[in-house]
Amino acid sequence: MKLSAKSDYAARAVIGLARHYQTGESLRVEDLAEGQGIPPNYLVQILIELKSQQIVKSLRGKEGGYLLARPPAEISMADVLRCVHGQVFDSPALSDPLCPPELRAAWQKLQKAVDAAAESINFQQLLDQSVDKGKMYYI
């Protein structure tokens, strides 16, 4: 299974906003794009999609920008992937009446496993992992 650059950029945008969640301050698109290595014009399109699914929200005005619409612990990787792709995992065989039933069952099993894995990862866990790595001591 190969995910698109769009899904990577969407996850990067969410982790970038998650890092600033506690401050309550919004981030400008330019700053978020630079900090996460995302082309600014593409990021705007992704943020609009994330906003439509209530993952991020925007603020207007001089202090405007984007911030998470809910805590990082309440946003899963599955939420982000569904936002940009519709499904975490999809195969044409799932809806193909000519697909052999045993093969369709295998695709369904794979779909459930990938969905469950993506659902089990939330952005607070990712933040906690990056903090834990910073606390490691090397000899």
Residue 64 counted as domain residue? yes
Residues 8 and 45: their CA atoms lie apart, in Å, by: 14
Residue 118 counted as domain residue? yes
Residue 116 counted as domain residue? yes
Percent of the chain with pLDDT over 90: 78
Residue 139 counted as domain residue? no
Is 65 strand, coil or helix?
strand
Q: What is the pLDDT of residues 47-63, one digit of tens each?
A: 999 999 999 999 998 87
> Can you give the CATH number for the domain in which 115 is found?
1.10.10.10
Residue 55 counted as domain residue? yes
Q: What is the pLDDT of residues 109-128, one digit of tens each?
A: 999 999 999 999 999 999 99
What domain count does the chain have?
1
Q: What is the pLDDT of residues 62-102, one digit of tens each?
A: 878 999 999 999 999 999 999 998 888 888 888 899 999 99
SS3 content of the chain, % helix, strand, coil (to 5): 60, 10, 30
